[in-house]
Amino acid sequence: MKLINMDTITIHRKEARDIFSDILVPLSDRLEYVGSKSYILPTYFCRYVGIEGDVDEYNNKLYWLDKKLQNNANGYVRMSSPLNIPVVNIIDKLKDVKTIRELVARAVIESLLPATKRTPLNNLISSAFKDVLELYNSREKNFTKVKNFSIKMLIWLNEWFYKLYTNFDLKESPKVLFYGNIKEHEVYFLVLLSKIGCDVLYINPDKEGDKVFKSLEHDRKYSQLIELKNSMKAGPFPTKEVEIRKPTVAYSVEQEVSSVLYSGESLLFRPRQFEGCDTSPITLKTTYDEFKILWREIAKVRPEFKVEGSKVYIPNLFIKINGVFDDIQKYWADFKYVVNTNNTLLIKEIPFTKQVLSRQEMYSLAFYIKDNKIESERIKESKFYRYKYLKESIQDFILRKTERLMESGIFKNKVDANFKVKILATVLSLDERIVNLIEVFDYTEEIPKLVIYAGNKNLFNEHDLITLAFLNLVGIDIAIFTPTNYNNIELGLKEKYYDVIQLPKVGYNLQVPGNIQKLSGKESLLNKIFKIIGK
């Protein structure tokens, strides 16, 4: 092999500002590059760890980088763990060496290292090999391990070198992209490749995957770390571009302003800002007069309303009104006032729920409940499930609340396995009008309402009681008018979960007047003010 004389090659590691752009700049166009005699090769060794922004946008970025690197004027390889180790028997050629110096010399003599037409490049390879062995030895201090390690480095170097150095004019650097989790010896190999003039880019969206690097070079002597804000598990390297949506400048500004204005610390919220979040009722204990005031107030102006993280604490009303006034006209006027509000469902007869599932179907539901947990994905695919038309966030909300109801402690009956099945069956069979109350519920604004008139001896059945308990847990307002003073809700739900207000007289055989109808109720002044502010 005819050797071309050159003086020296020095590798200068550069710091990238935008590694995805910088790595594409030809070696000969980079500052600090010297391309004759005493060569200076400014190269990159960068760890790009974590993820920022949209996942699809991130994957497209990797996809297009890979595409562009494939057009590199020198070689390019994309690697991932584990690196293949071909079967090559070279251990006999190194068996009697006793020092790193001897090992490197033997590797040169036995032509175990890649060889090129450029003597200084060959010298650079042997020097880099020696540096990496010494780096490994400084940690292990066991020459037998060092020798075994050197064999792996030699095998990998010969496996990859000629795929990387497809030409030796030193106007363009070979490129290495290593994606995903990495092992200790593979980190050393990347250090070796960077020392022989390769641009090396290690990419992992999972910050945990960078721990191996950090343990080996906590001082960042060999590589630059670019660590992004978020982290996710590394999936397969993207093999195709996906369509994405990019925000306009106006949209981005609006989002930034919204993040300041519509925070949990203010009473300004976007419409349905907390859809998909959880709710927790704070059932207010109140007087009759205050009940009428609060009934028409939106959630965010009621006492005890708050937002903590992704949970909205809703001050709702769960009240039973026994008896009537001496002036029966005042009683019906108040009843009409309560009924004629937005998103209010009036029920005039109890019981008001019907179980649509057969006993056999009820028995089958037991297989979807394990330790108070509903197997949500399975139940969604079952023949009993009727809520697929709802938004996914509302479906998940209903199932979460059903689980919570099973352990809430609101029922006087023992909540055994059979009763849990009744809870699930009831929620899966809700009247569509009741489902609509849940669907329209914007947790910071008007609270949907259920008004029940219980004017005779009829009792709530079990499914009624489960429905009432469920709606209370959702945060919906409930008012039960019982002019007779008869027991109804008391027979199934614990008293501490609702208020009972007693009016002066008892009324029998009272029928709801025909002029009680669902009208659009007048909004309170505060309600109007906050609607204006919220726009």
Per-residue pLDDT of the chain (535 residues; tens, 9 = 90+): 334 444 789 999 999 999 999 999 999 999 999 988 889 999 999 999 999 888 988 999 999 999 999 999 999 999 999 998 877 778 888 888 889 999 999 999 999 999 888 888 999 999 999 999 999 998 888 888 999 999 999 999 999 999 999 988 889 999 999 999 999 999 999 999 999 999 999 999 999 989 899 888 767 789 999 999 999 999 999 998 876 555 555 545 555 555 544 454 555 777 778 888 889 999 999 999 999 999 999 999 999 999 887 789 999 999 999 999 999 999 999 999 999 999 999 999 999 998 777 777 777 888 888 877 899 899 999 888 989 999 999 999 999 999 999 988 899 989 998 899 999 999 999 999 999 999 999 999 999 999 999 999 999 999 999 999 999 999 999 999 999 999 999 999 999 999 999 999 999 999 998 877 653 334 444 444 444 333 3
Nearest to 140 by CA among 151, 152, 148, 128: 148
* Cβ atoms of residues 368 and 375 within 8 Å: yes
* Residue 188 exposure: Cα atoms within 13 Å on the Cβ side: 23
HSE-up of residue 28 (Cα within 13 Å, Cβ side): 9
Give the CA distances from residue 98 to residues 45, 113, 146, 266, in Å, rounded to whole numbers and listed in that order: 32, 19, 10, 72
CA dihedral 527, 533, 534, 535 (to 10 degrees): 120
Contact between 22 and 44 (Cβ < 8 Å) = yes
CB-count burial class (<10 Å; 0-12, 13-18, 19+) for 329: exposed
Strands 477-482 and 369-370: unpaired
Return the SS3 of 496.
helix
* Residue environment code for 140-166, b if the CB has 16+ CB neighbours within 10 A, otherwise e: eeeeeebbebbbebbbbbbbbbeebbe
Helices marked H in 458-524: 462-474
Q: Which of 209, 215, 247 is nearest to 227 (CA)?
A: 209
How many whole angstroms separate alpha carbon 79 and alpha carbon 193?
A: 12
* pLDDT at site 367: 87
pLDDT recorded at residue 253: 52
> What count of other Cβ atoms lies within 10 Å of the Cβ of residue 127?
16
User: What stretch of H or E contains 349?
Assistant: none
**322 close to 482: Cβ distance less than 8 angstroms:** yes
Residues 195/221, Cβ–Cβ less than 8 Å: no
Rounded to 5°, the CA angle 302-264-404 comes to 75
Q: Shortest CA distance to 38 belongs to which of 5, 77, 66?
A: 5
Question: What is the gyration radius of the CA atoms in the chain, in angstroms?
Answer: 36
Closest among 317, 362, 322, 369 to 478, alpha carbons compared: 317
Q: How many CA atoms lie within 13 A of 58 on its CB side?
A: 21
Report residue 92 CA to chain centroid gap.
Answer: 53
**Tokens 């032509």 correspond to what residue?**
111
Q: Quick one: tokens of 479?
A: 């008012």
| Cα(480)–Cα(475) distance, integer angstroms | 16
Distance CA 434, CA 486 (A): 25
Give the distance, in angstroms, between the CA of residue 274 and the centroid of all CA atoms in the same chain.
15
Could you tell me the two tokens for 274?
A: 């907390």
Q: CA 439: distance to chain centroid?
A: 23
Orientation angle between helical segments 462-474 and 417-428, nearest 10 degrees: 70
Distance between the two ends of the chain, CA-based, in angstroms?
Answer: 79
Q: What is the pLDDT of residue 266?
A: 52
